[in-house]
Structure 1
Amino acid sequence: MATAADDDGARHPSPLPDRHLRRTQRLGSARHLFPLRRDHRRAPARADREVPLVRPTLVAPTLEEIRRAHEIINREIGLPTPLIHSPGLSEHLNAHVSIKLEAATPTSAFKVRGGIYLASQLGVDARERGLVTASTGNHGQSIAFGAAVAGTSATIFMPTDANPDKITAIERFGGRVELVGERVDECFIAAAEHAHERGALYVEPVNQPTLIAGVATAALEVLETQQPDTELVIVPLGGGTGASGWVLVRDGLGHPAEVWAAQSSQAPAVHDAWRSGKMEPRPNRTLAEGIATGVVFELPLGILRASLNDFILAGDGQILAGLRRLWDLQHIMSEPAGAVGVAAAEQERERLSGKRVVIVVSGANATRAQLAKWLGD
């Protein structure tokens, strides 16, 4: 298991347009609001007691629903996304390695699947009210894209150092961006407050079965059609929707493949909760913004603790090395969050030997300046 590497510095030091900025003085009032998650309005759990992992009202999607979601998403963006065999990575890792390229979507990230499916399930009243959510970028793009397809509005709360390219993309899809706080955890509170004030629908970024059903469709493509003899899948993990989808499909199909999650050691909240069973906040200092979260969510954690085979941590330096490896050996461009699976595979090289492995590249939303810095090192 890797130890944390040094942080590579501030993610987006450039000032952002004033039109996005939102006052933050009243965030404390959000503790009284519905539908804010309990975790955001209570003190952190004590280390000496167990915390319930899944609320009774949170039910994991079935394989039947995931199949239905695939039909709906396919009509909008055309599926499947590519599964690309990589001779270079295969030689490097002494395994048969293929890349599930989830960056090959209109938002350059896997989460658009969830946004499209969620928006497709909205009734007339819900579409009139509009959607509100919080995101570091990729989830926000998915909700904005899905809202546009469904003919409704979307307001996305993001940290003040958010990736400017992701902000631009959300606005291109018709979404409205509000910047608040230094961490996405603060954005959850502000988004719930805003939804309450405006009568809009607050979309849980992670504790949302409909989103999980949508993103799980990638697993259906690989395990049922593209490479049914897959033996191991490595999935990037931030909040846990993607990895949850993979284990739900694997279990629903009765498929023998192992599923591993990979997360930054500089934002290890879900990893630590998966191992301990205790839902406690953790520091969030990773440059991999697509998997940057310091809190844990009940629904995916319950799914993962029941069925995930292993959970690997990689330091940010290792993640950037994985990003460069993707480019050098396969000429695939990724953001750091998308490359964490490669970093995990390099750590666990001996365990991959001789296996048919799928590494999920979950997104490629990085600025030109970021890529020049990371690929040039």
Structure 2
Amino acid sequence: MHNYIEKILRAKVYDVAEETPLDFAPTLSERLENRVYLKREDLQPVFSFKLRGAYNKMASLTADQAAHGVIAASAGNHAQGVALAAKKLGIKALIVMPKTTPEIKVKSVKARGAKIVLHGDSYDDAFAHAMELVKEKGMTFIHPYDDPDVIAGQGTVAMEILRQHNADIHAIFVPVGGGGLVAGIAAYVKFVRPEIKVIAVEPDDADCLNQALKAKQRVELPQVGLFADGVAVKKIGEEPFRIASQYVDQVITVSTDEICAAIKDIFDDTRSVAEPAGALAVAGLKKYVEQNGVTQQTLVAIDSGANINFDRLRYVAERTLVGEHREILLAVAIPEAPGSFLKFCKTLGKRGITEFNYRYFDSQMAQVFVGITSSGVEADRQQLIEQLLNEGFAVTDMTGNELAKDHIRHMVGGHAPGNLNESVYSLQFPERPGALLKFLMSLGSQWNISLFHYRNHGAAFGKVLIGLQITEADCRTFEHGLDTLNLAYQRETGNPAYRLFAGGAATPCG
């Protein structure tokens, strides 16, 4: 630890990085009954903390290494940090980025003078190609997180926090991808103020540190969620894991909806828009307060970045109400008879309705997909469901159903006209121009597609719900094809959202 403290104190970050403010969040503090502060790393020149570690590493290169130039693999924030550091130091830089990288990030890196190579569909593809180029060109690889100099550069965030707030701090919440930031913060905080809790926060579908701590060794996740793309890492870094396993007090995992709600929380207090990974720590802070019932504590969250595509905001806003527990999504069976809708609406009382979807299908019973405003208290949802059940309505809670939120709510009324012998899958594929056509062509013409719903919400990957008329044997062949294409997928034929609003009779691939 002493080595890291010395490295952090001597880190050469302030030639390019700024000492960002530690802002009090009044609205969030009042609602949570705690003193909440945001460390505003979104205000750095590249809108992310990443330039700290990148510059510190590059400033320590030998003259020979600097002369040969540097190379990095990144889909965004690290790339911008390396590019800015290279421009400042007069070093040539080559950045390998996935082909799925949004154009706004590609342009930002180019604007800072770095050369770009687009390769593969994921960070792992870009990383593998970058390592080949390192051998070929003799350039120095600047790792985004698994390097002591990078970790020390990120640790300067903690040094600033403790200098800016020398009164009591009960916990610091840190977003985790590869682990460089949490390692640097934990090493410094536990040396200077060991009573402060360091709490790591990860998406529940990309929790590589959480799984590694449980297994007591690094593990590689088979796949990761891509909503919080800045922390979509399958395996925690070796050095970050060594440090985190000693000094991180707790790991909290949060859902996509909770991240979206945190983006809104940050906006309400700062009028700035965080990227999903940037809002991760606030989401974890809120969950920590809810789970532990803490009050009157001083809590700090790292707002780690603001590199978000504008076209993703629609999706964020859509999911925010559920993330705040202020929207309840229900499938309600209503008798197909005069007066039933009126009775249903009277049962809801003065509650606000966020959406109401219905399409005539059955002469006896109507299935309604409805969104209803809530107070934000979990008991409110249970109370509403009990009210409806007591009035004789059959209710299925869809609030936590990903298929319902991603697809079904946008296609209610699309029931199959009969028994189509249909099997349904949700899957995602790399999003770039022509990607949908390429995906359909890869399926070939042997399958009869009976259902198709596609959404592009500004992320690196598009989401598809697809139904096919196939036999059980065909299911295995189809899934083998998806595996060959390296596409993440899930069987959805048995999902109640599909069954109630889009499905037909029993199918071979349930």
> Which letter does structure 1 place at the counterpart of 2:7?
E
Contact 2:59 2:89 in 1 (8 A): yes
How high is the TM-score relative to the length of structure 1? 0.80
Deviation of 1:278 (Å) = 2.7
Contact 1:286 1:316 in 2 (8 A): no
**Deviation string for 1:337-366 (max 9, x for gaps)?**
000111112222243422100010000001
> Which letter does structure 2 place at the counterpart of 1:116?
Y
For 2:287, the equivalent position in structure 1 comes to 347
CA gap 1:195/1:357 in 2 versus in 1, 3 angstroms: same
For 2:224, the equivalent position in structure 1 comes to 284
Deviation of 1:109 (Å) = 0.1
For 2:258, the equivalent position in structure 1 comes to 318
For 1:117, the equivalent position in structure 2 comes to 56
1:263-274 to 2 correspondences below 5 Å: 263-274=202-213
CA gap 1:124/1:273 in 2 versus in 1, 3 angstroms: same
User: Given the alignment of the two structures, is residue 177 of structure 1 paired with residue 116 of structure 2, yes or no?
Assistant: yes
Contact 1:61 1:210 in 2 (8 A): no
Deviation of 1:120 (Å) = 1.1
User: What SS is found at the alignment partner of 1:311?
Assistant: strand
Report the Cα distance in structure 2 between the residues aligned to 1:228 and 1:189, rounded to whole angstroms. 46
Q: Which has the higher strand share?
A: 2
CA gap 1:61/1:101 in 2 versus in 1, 3 angstroms: farther
CA gap 1:228/1:157 in 2 versus in 1, 3 angstroms: farther
User: Given the alignment of the two structures, is residue 362 of structure 1 paired with residue 304 of structure 2, yes or no?
Assistant: yes
Report the Cα distance in structure 2 between the residues aligned to 1:154 and 1:339, rounded to whole angstroms. 29
Report the Cα distance in structure 2 between the residues aligned to 1:293 and 1:62, rounded to whole angstroms. 24
Higher relative contact order (CA 8 A, sep 6+): 1
- The one of 168, 175, 178 equivalent to 1:239 is 178
CA gap 1:131/1:347 in 2 versus in 1, 3 angstroms: same
Identify unmatched segments of 5+ residues in structure 1. Answer: 1-58
User: What SS is found at the alignment partner of 1:280?
Assistant: coil
How high is the TM-score relative to the length of structure 2? 0.60
For 1:222, the equivalent position in structure 2 comes to 161
CA gap 1:182/1:75 in 2 versus in 1, 3 angstroms: closer
- The one of 254, 268, 272 equivalent to 1:332 is 272
Contact 1:108 1:364 in 2 (8 A): yes
Contact 1:118 1:146 in 2 (8 A): no
1:1-377 to 2 correspondences below 5 Å: 61-69=3-11, 72-77=12-17, 79-282=18-221, 283-350=223-290, 351=292, 352-375=294-317
> Which letter does structure 2 place at the counterpart of 1:289?
D
Aligned-CA RMSD value: 1.7
Report the Cα distance in structure 2 between the residues aligned to 1:100 and 1:326, rounded to whole angstroms. 11
Equivalent residue pairs, number: 316
Report the Cα distance in structure 2 between the residues aligned to 1:225 and 1:98, rounded to whole angstroms. 11
Report the Cα distance in structure 2 between the residues aligned to 1:289 and 1:206, rounded to whole angstroms. 15
Contact 1:115 1:145 in 2 (8 A): no
**Deviation string for 1:82-108 (max 9, x for gaps)?**
100011010122110000000111100
Report the Cα distance in structure 2 between the residues aligned to 1:60 and 1:211, rounded to whole angstroms. 16
CA gap 1:194/1:75 in 2 versus in 1, 3 angstroms: closer
**Deviation string for 1:187-224 (max 9, x for gaps)?**
22111101110111112222111001111101001113
The higher radius of gyration belongs to 2
Deviation of 1:249 (Å) = 0.6
Contact 2:75 2:98 in 1 (8 A): yes
Contact 2:263 2:274 in 1 (8 A): yes
CA gap 1:202/1:76 in 2 versus in 1, 3 angstroms: closer
> Which letter does structure 2 place at the counterpart of 1:290?
G
Contact 1:109 1:362 in 2 (8 A): yes
Deviation of 1:376 (Å) = 5.8
Contact 2:177 2:236 in 1 (8 A): no
User: What SS is found at the alignment partner of 2:14?
Assistant: helix
Stretch of structure 1 that moved more, 257-266 or 271-280: 271-280
Contact 1:111 1:142 in 2 (8 A): yes
Q: Percent identity?
A: 28
Contact 2:213 2:245 in 1 (8 A): yes
**Deviation string for 1:70-128 (max 9, x for gaps)?**
xx322434x32010001101012211000000011110000111112112112221111
Report the Cα distance in structure 1 between the residues aligned to 2:59 and 2:150, rounded to whole angstroms. 11
For 2:486, the equivalent position in structure 1 comes to none
> Which letter does structure 2 place at the counterpart of 1:135?
S
Deviation of 1:164 (Å) = 2.0
Report the Cα distance in structure 2 between the residues aligned to 1:245 and 1:279, rounded to whole angstroms. 18
> Which letter does structure 2 place at the counterpart of 1:311?
V
Identify unmatched segments of 5+ residues in structure 2. Answer: 320-510
Report the Cα distance in structure 2 between the residues aligned to 1:130 and 1:181, rounded to whole angstroms. 23
Contact 1:94 1:353 in 2 (8 A): yes
**Deviation string for 1:226-256 (max 9, x for gaps)?**
3442111001110001111111111221442
Deviation of 1:303 (Å) = 0.4
Report the Cα distance in structure 1 between the residues aligned to 2:164 and 2:90, rounded to whole angstroms. 32
